[in-house]
Amino acid sequence: MPKIFEAEDGSGVNACEICAAIYFRPALAIPINSFLDFFAQMKRPLRPLFSILVFTVLAVTLSLRILVHGGYFSSVELENKVVVREQLPVFNSTLLKYAAIDVGEEKDKQEIERLLEGNFDGPGRYRTFASWRKFHHDVRSKSSSSSSGIPLSLRSPMFYRYWLDFRRNLNDWARKKRFQADIMNDLVRLVKHVIDNHYGLNRLDRKYESCAVVGNSGILLNSNYGELIDSHEMVIRLNNARIERFEKHVGSKTSLSFVNSNILHLCARREGCFCHPYGGNVPVIMYICQPMHFLDYTRCNGSHKAPLIVTDPRFDMLCARIVKYYSLKLFVEEKGKSLEEWGSSHEGSLFHYSSGMQAVMLALGVCDKVSIFGFGKSASAKHHYHTNQKAELQLHDYEAEYAFYHDLVENQRAIPFLSDKFNLPPVVIYH
């Protein structure tokens, strides 16, 4: 009995190889002489048929082996290539290491633990909690002891259900929070599928042909980009910036509204959680600024007709690292400062990427082509096209983000932390 079940190297038995062995080894093992005898004794009309059979068997065996081994070799080759590719852009490992440190991590963890335990003490937290409760008429707490946390209101079954949902949402989110470079490849599934479902489209794994990310910079005024923006398959707008009266410059189509959870928190005080300046049918996606905002999410998700998506915390983390890397790099290389000083001049644990940056990152993951409008500043332009806000927020480093956008257009290989398995689409910035 030939040992057909033993793989050649005694390990890693491959299903394909076993099939090939079972079916084809015995045939090859027949001594060639007896094979020729057998062939000679065969009835003449059967000979061609038999030859074809033998050749087919040989061909299949060979191609199976080529498949099995070819697959093996090409993955080795691939690994070599990856190594070579990784060597091309040289990232400064000190900067990478610093960029990967999440200064606020410990504080966040404690905050999340407190919330999961039902401890809402602390001024900011309690205000959110109270305003959340106010909208649930079943809770008529006149209690003065309410400042000690949730217990009183938990007696309401309706409130209790929200409380469980809140805990579940926050818990799921906190558990997923870790760095994962190839999360970019999941954005189609995590975000695009949800949006396509909502719009009744079934384009599953196709990305959007073209996306416009519309920032809110004053440079948009007098740009006349309205029509160009609307010609994109997908138009993403930021932080509920008004479009009425500005259509000529900013367009009027909105496929996705990108906000941060501070904005949802404000919306949550309104009747029905209204947060839809672009219409109730437009999906909203947001990142969570504070774990507490899951209260607003839990309350508003139910009352929104269009999807209300929370960005995946792994995606948040990737965005944070990229921006911090650029910020550190600028700080050290162009301003000549030391890494240790970075924290104190960037609000430490409050430092955060802007909504615009994350919206661009999202577009990179779900679009074949990305156009960026209304990002950047100029001495002659307002900070926002739709407000009179003067100053930029200190907790963002817009200069660092501009450097990132610049690399997106000119030098994509210089962008750190992205997985090799992810291909960035071409990007155009309209000034």
Ligand X SMILES: *[C@@H]1O[C@H](CO)[C@@H](O)[C@H](O)[C@H]1NC(C)=O
Name the burial class of residue 49, with classes exposed (0-12), middle (13-18) and buried (19+) by CB atoms within 10 angstroms of its CB: exposed
CB of 385 to ligand X, least distance (A): 32
| Edge-to-edge strands, sheet with 308-310 | 308-310, 284-287, 256-260, 234-238, 211-214, 370-373, 427-430
CB of 297 to ligand X, least distance (A): 8
The pair of three-digit structure tokens given for residue 236, joined into one six-digit string: 């993403």
For ligand X, which is the closer residue by CB, 301 or 354?
A: 301
Q: Give me the amino acid identity at 411.
A: N
CB of 304 to ligand X, least distance (A): 7
For ligand X, which is the closer residue by CB, 75 or 94?
A: 94
**Calpha distance 194→204 (Å, rounded):** 10
CB of 176 to ligand X, least distance (A): 12
H/E stretch holding 211: strand 211-214
CB of 95 to ligand X, least distance (A): 5
CB of 75 to ligand X, least distance (A): 32
For ligand X, which is the closer residue by CB, 33 or 93?
A: 93
For ligand X, which is the closer residue by CB, 319 or 332?
A: 332
Count of C-beta atoms within a 10 Å radius of residue 408: 22
180 with 319: CB under 8 angstroms?
Answer: no
CB of 129 to ligand X, least distance (A): 18
Which residue, 148, 122, 121, 151, is CA-closest to 139?
Answer: 151
**Calpha distance 226→121 (Å, rounded):** 47
CB of 313 to ligand X, least distance (A): 13
Which residue, 82, 92, 27, is CA-closest to 54?
Answer: 27
Binding residues for ligand X (CB under 6 A): 92, 94-95, 165, 169, 301, 332, 339
CB of 172 to ligand X, least distance (A): 8
Which residue, 177, 159, 173, is CA-closest to 116?
Answer: 173
**Calpha distance 349→358 (Å, rounded):** 18
Rg (CA), the chain: 30
For ligand X, which is the closer residue by CB, 275 or 427?
A: 275
* Sign of the CA dihedral running 72, 76, 81, 86: positive
For ligand X, which is the closer residue by CB, 165 or 196?
A: 165
Q: What is the CA angle 26-32-34, rounded to 5?
A: 90
For ligand X, which is the closer residue by CB, 24 or 331?
A: 331
In the chain, DSSP finds a helix count (H) and a strand count (E) of 17, 7
**Calpha distance 161→167 (Å, rounded):** 10
The pair of three-digit structure tokens given for residue 257, joined into one six-digit string: 């509204």
For ligand X, which is the closer residue by CB, 282 or 370?
A: 282
CB of 181 to ligand X, least distance (A): 21
Buried b (16+ CB within 10 A) or exposed e, 299-334: bbbeebebbbbbbbbbbbbbbbbbbbbbbbbbbbee
For ligand X, which is the closer residue by CB, 129 or 325?
A: 325
For ligand X, which is the closer residue by CB, 12 or 279?
A: 279
The pair of three-digit structure tokens given for residue 287, joined into one six-digit string: 């990142």
